Chain A
Amino acid sequence: MKNPSSLYVHVPFCEQICHYCDFNKFFLKNQPVADYIEACGSEMRMSESVAPIETVYIGGGTPTALEDEQLERLLELIHKHFTIKPSAEFTVEVNPGSASKETFTMMKRYGVNRLSIGAQTFDTGLLKAINRDHGEGDVEASIQLARHAGITDISVDMMFGLPGQTMEQWQQSLIKLVSLPISHVSAYSLKIEPKTVFYQMWNRGALKLPNQDMEAEMYDWLYEYLHENDFQAYEISNFAKPGYESLHNQAYWNNDGYVGIGAGAHGYVNGVRHRNHGPLPKYLKAIEAGEMPWIESHQVPVNEQMEEEMFMGLRKRIGVNGHRFEKRYGLTVEDAFPGTVSKLQERGLLQKEENHYRLTRQGLLLGNEVFEAFLLP
């Protein structure tokens, strides 16, 4: 595997914790933020990549929960330890209403050229229900500030299948969404994960969630409506205007390597996947000792690489490139997974065109059925 040309940096601090979130994150207050950023710098030094970096993604948590000086220091460290290509896609996650024009200007100075704004919904009641700390107008305000600062490539995150969410509310949110000057949409369905407030509520039976049929209808509406408004689905949950597909996410789906920096971050370098310590003291201690802050690492054997190539790659609408697969593994997809392709074709979930394997429109909503079939016995 070539040296990774993608970089992910995790900022695990939040001013408020969302009810659904199970990412590695901590209340900002009283946290050793400055130490953490320097520790990230040390991890970057240990993880320096020879190849120039083509995509950077700073996610969280909430990167914009940092003070401007702290965020600036983090950006400075990234440039110190990595060669960022001038043409690189450089994304920062933004919490609506949490960044000023000066913040965006500073980001721009360090090469940030793309923002991912966590709107989730434009319904005030639902925002409250999921414990977001922004109001419905904050998304638009942040977009305007960013544009004034010269960052125009903007993605917005949306969620459906929220507690009590109606089809009508979802449609209204999407109508609002497409009226904004944005180029990319990520739309996720709510999944109840352990260690979240929602999980507790759900266990007590205190959470009313839309059923499977409703979720499917919400997705179908999303898919059709965004298409009508010039956003093409290029992955199950991701939609972009032509030419604005996220390069960073595609590194994951193409089964390419990436450097992962920060507490709880994941990386995939030279065939080894690793996961970093989540708790800050553990992460900081490992860095201080001059060690990689890995809690686990795993040399991915070829059969798993092939599985991942399929179950990640099939998430893309263009699907898995058969030539590329054969070049990487010396086997055709049919030989690597005997009988699987034809069976899925019979079920109407998979299609093969010009040596690309891709989900059918029906297969999109039943993706896990397809992905599962590509796990080897």
Chain B
Amino acid sequence: MKPEDRIKRRDKIRNFSIIAHIDHGKSTLADRILEKTSALTQREMQDQMLDAMDLERERGITIKLNAVQLTYTAADGEEYIFHLIDTPGHVDFAYEVSRSLAACEGALLIVDAAQGIEAQTLANVYLALDNELEIIPVINKIDLPSADPERVRGEVEDVIGLPGEDCIPASAKSGIGIDEILEAVVEKVPAPDGDPEAPLKAMIFDSIYDPYRGVIVYIRIVEGTVKPGEKIRMMQGQKEFEVQEIGVFTPKPVSKQELSVGDVGYMIASIKNVGDSQVGDTITHAARPTAEPLPGYRKLNPMVFCGLYPVDTNDYNDLRDALEKLELNDSALQFEAETSQALGFGFRCGFLGLLHMEIIQERIEREYNIDLITTAPSVIYEVTKTDGEQVLIDNPSEMPDAQQIDHIREPYVKAEVMVPNDYVGAVMELCQRKRGDYVDMKYLDENRVNIIYELPLSEIVYDFFDTLKSSTKGYASFDYELIGYKESNLVKMDILLNAEKIDALSIIVHRDSAYDRGKIIAEKLKKLIPRQQFEVPVQASIGQKIIARSTIKAMRKNVLAKCYGGDISRKRKLLEKQKEGKKRMKSVGSVEVPQEAFMSVLSMDED
């Protein structure tokens, strides 16, 4: 391509993403845009095209980023190149959002016409403003009976500070307002402004591992032009590779002769190790490198830790392979080998949040077919010993003896809950129960309230969000940010099965609630652990002191006393099913413990 053609092409490019709260209609809008830009024929069109992974479909959320190139013929008769970059909507994935926003010049902000702005959306809007993106507000679902677009318009103005009259009323489901949105993208989102002939500067905003092609990096060209066969260098990684293939997603991958300024696409360059293509790194030419790399990303540190152990110890190596492969696509995942007396060899893994943890766990079970034991998630505690030494503890079983501890500090978050004012009482009660400190409460309009609490992170990692949703009939939205460490009166509680301490069941609890928690856990384990051949006492202890106890009765009868006549296969199936069930349990000492028991220690409910 000639230099002037590259400039012409660049000026027709519009890069944008969609910011929306879960369920506010992002995927539906993305589908409509794909249809309108004829990226796919109707026949090829699968509903919710961008959410490719099964898990994403099931949970209705987007986890991995996707970047699609679309062609749009605008009202001015000109053809424009759109790159639609998908962003996850869940708070656990704020890091991925910031990555994808950095590859854009604009963002569509989707707000539900009935529900208004939610806490998580707000967090992403601030990220977009940080990245100096042009924001186009869209009020979606205006055809719902409960829609109140005028109120939402006011909210956009008051809460975000964008002019209310700029809001585009739309219904992605019914196809209302889609043309207006596309025209607004052309008019408002600035074209990229880099020099196509300058030394190459391409930003890696994601990478995935493909077993056949090696690492596939998702890039945004900021300056320069790249072609297959060229030698490139990772500026931070310092390694050099030869470009094998470049291309864009339409959403199918389509290889191209070159990618130039403004292009968002993929690069394959025989990269075997994802560590060599770190997200946030800048790619340049080996022969004509750029002087300055692009500013990197702030890397988020995992906040929630848990042990992952194979149910079948023979799966240990497979589990490590699975984690290594997942890590290739997920730079937020951390893991290192650890050993538990009860569970054997496994890994201590760090996650952005609980949802992130659940998704990784499910992917390992589903895609790699490994049955897992997940221990209760823990945060990182800062323990100061009596000798003045400070240690960080992310595994409760490693907590020093009580006599050696001077004090313990735990991470706190500032949590913002947006809720209709009918539910203020329910939210405050929940926050108090979770050891929260009240900070502030603001009315967003006459019936929506923003409640701010400081809460221990450990109290929100487990079931806070679920409880919040159920106690507000789903109306509350929630966001949080880490604010630092505070001293707390914490103790380690151990669980004993058959008088044997099970390290994988230890948890850190607040001293005031230890007795209640111990009682609930002992009862819960009694229900979850099936009867064994012998009676099994379940005990909760702090130090040497037993604070709660229950008993799992001995199995009395397990035999088929039924006349099946000559139907042997039926008997066989029954026995095979029983054997299969036991495979999903872990032998801990002399006790067969089901997977879910290890998570149950965090349960606060008595049922």
- Chain A residues within 8 Å of B, Cβ to Cβ: 8, 23, 59, 157, 186-189, 191, 212-213, 215-216, 219, 236-237, 252, 258, 260, 265-268, 273, 275, 298, 304, 307-308, 311-312, 347, 349, 364-369, 371-372, 375
Contact = CB atoms under 8 A, between A and B. Distances in A.
B569 A375 contact: no
B2 interface: no
B433 interface: no
Contacts of A267: 566
B579 interface: yes
Contacts of B557: 189, 212, 215-216, 219, 365-366
A273 B578 CA distance: 22
Nearest to B571: A311
A375 B563 contact: no
B559 A368 contact: yes
B499 interface: no
A191 B533 CA distance: 21
B466 to A, nearest CB: 25
Contact of B556 (A268, A311, A365): A365
A368 B568 contact: no
7 contacts: A188-B563, A215-B556, A252-B566, A266-B569, A308-B568, A365-B558, A369-B558
Nearest to A160: B561
Interface in B544-594: 553, 555-563, 565-569, 571-572, 574-576, 578-579, 582
Given A186-B563, A213-B553, A237-B563, A368 B569 contact: no
A298 B569 contact: yes
Contact of A366 (B559, B565, B579): B559
Size range of the chain B interface in the assembly? 20 to 34
Nearest to A59: B565
Contact of A268 (B561, B568, B578): B568
A358 B16 CA distance: 73
Contact of B559 (A8, A258, A364): A364
B562 A188 contact: yes
Contacts of A213: 553, 556
B320 interface: no
B269 to A, nearest CB: 44
A197 to B, nearest CB: 17
A369 B530 CA distance: 13
B579 A375 contact: yes
A221 to B, nearest CB: 13
Interface of B: 531, 533, 553, 555-563, 565-569, 571-572, 574-576, 578-579, 582
B575 A375 contact: yes
A275 B565 CA distance: 12
A220 to B, nearest CB: 9
Contacts of A215: 556-557
Nearest to B566: A266
Nearest to B567: A266
CB-CB nearest 9 A-B residue pairs? A367-B559, A216-B556, A266-B566, A216-B557, A189-B561, A237-B561, A368-B558, A365-B557, A191-B562
A365 B558 CA distance: 6
> Chain B: interface secondary structure?
loop
Contacts of B565: 8, 23, 59, 252, 266
Given A213-B556, A215-B556, A216-B556, A312 B566 contact: no
A311 B575 contact: yes
Contact of B561 (A236, A266, A298, A371): A236
B87 to A, nearest CB: 43
Nearest to A190: B562
A188 B558 contact: no
> Chain A: interface secondary structure?
mixed
- Which of B557, B558, B571, B579 is the most central at the interface, judged by chain A CB atoms within 10 Å of its CB? B557
- Which of B531, B533, B556, B571 is the most central at the interface, judged by chain A CB atoms within 10 Å of its CB? B556
Contacts of B567: 266, 275
Contacts of B571: 311-312, 371
A213 B556 CA distance: 6
B527 to A, nearest CB: 14
Given A266-B568, A273-B569, A375 B559 contact: no
A174 to B, nearest CB: 15
B569 to A, nearest CB: 7
A369 B555 CA distance: 10
B545 to A, nearest CB: 32
A288 to B, nearest CB: 25
A312 B558 contact: no
B132 to A, nearest CB: 59
Contact of A369 (B533, B562, B566, B574): B533
Contacts of A266: 565-569
A343 to B, nearest CB: 12
A222 to B, nearest CB: 10
A268 B568 CA distance: 10
Nearest to A258: B566
Contacts of B566: 8, 252, 258, 260, 265-268
Contacts of A312: 568, 571
Contacts of B579: 372, 375
Given A273-B569, A311-B575, A365-B557, A212 B531 contact: yes
- Which of B531, B553, B556, B566 is the most central at the interface, judged by chain A CB atoms within 10 Å of its CB? B566
Nearest to A363: B559
Nearest to A187: B561
A119 B520 CA distance: 46
Given A8-B566, A273-B568, A367 B560 contact: yes
A367 B560 CA distance: 7
Contact of A375 (B533, B560, B568, B576): B576
A237 B564 CA distance: 12
A106 B48 CA distance: 72
A126 B424 CA distance: 55
A233 B454 CA distance: 68
A260 B562 CA distance: 19
B607 to A, nearest CB: 16
Nearest to A215: B557
Contacts of B563: 157, 186, 188, 237
Contacts of A275: 567, 569
B574 to A, nearest CB: 8
Nearest to B582: A372
B562 A372 contact: no
Nearest to A368: B558
Given A266-B568, A308-B568, A368 B562 contact: no
A368 B574 CA distance: 9
Contacts of A188: 561-563
B575 A371 contact: yes
A364 B579 CA distance: 18
Contacts of A273: 568-569
